[in-house]
Amino acid sequence: MAWTIEYDRAAQKVAQKLSAATQKRIRAFLEERLLSLSDPRQLGTSLKGSELGEYWRYRVGDYRIICDIQYRRLVVLVIDIGHRSDAYR
């Protein structure tokens, strides 16, 4: 299976505001570690609750990446990127 990564507009805006080192670290995690897996759910944790129940969370240092894994299209859609203190708000 060949997974691809897509970014929501809101996630793109947040990523542009991060430092270059943090952007590089997040991009490396997504492209090198996550895409090398046959199932991206192996590394992540599912979110709980009625609104967030279908999303997955990945930890990269102090940042959290919230994703929607779409099996039909083989896409990991990055919904949000945020510091751990406010990523779930």
Q: Is the pLDDT of residue 89 over 70?
A: no
| Residue 88 pLDDT > 80 | no
Q: Is the residue at 87 inside a domain?
A: no
Tell me the pairing of strands 63-70 and 45-46.
Answer: unpaired
Look-up of token digits 């990564």: 5
In a domain, 54, yes or no: yes
Print the domain residue range for 58.
4-82
pLDDT averaged over the chain? 90
pLDDT, tens digit, 9 for 90 and up, residues 32-45:
999 999 999 999 99
Domain of 43, CATH number, reads 3.30.2310.20
* Long-range interactions of 27-31: CB distance < 8 A, separation 24+: 29/58, 29/60, 29/65, 30/5, 30/65, 30/76, 30/78, 31/5
pLDDT in tens, 64-76: 999 999 999 999 9
